Amino acid sequence: MADKKPTTKKTTKVAEEVKTLEQLHEELAAKRQDLIEARRGHRAGELANPRVLTTTRKEIARLLTAIRAAENEQKESN
């Protein structure tokens, strides 16, 4: 029988700095623009590393999650 690999627990990342809602929106806009430019470069065959598309999409998703959490926290405090 094959040996099973030991499972590892995933740990959550701790934010290095706390960003305001405004900063998160600005960063989101910049990442979306980067994704548009990367897609354009990929279509033209100029993109050296296509993984940039995946990592940028994931960063956008993380930003959207952080924005939603900040908005919910702000609503609860009011």
Q: In 10 A of CB 49, how many CB atoms?
A: 9
Fill in the DSSP letter of residue 14: P
- Residues listed for the chain: 78
pLDDT of residue 4: 72
Q: What is the mean pLDDT of each run of 10 residues along the chain (78 residues)?
A: 69 75 96 97 94 97 95 89
Q: By the 8 A CB rule, do 34 and 42 touch?
A: no
- Which tokens hold the place of 46? 């100029």
pLDDT of residue 30: 97
Instruction: Give domain limits for the chain.
Output: 21-77
- Which tokens hold the place of 65? 């999650």
pLDDT of residue 70: 93
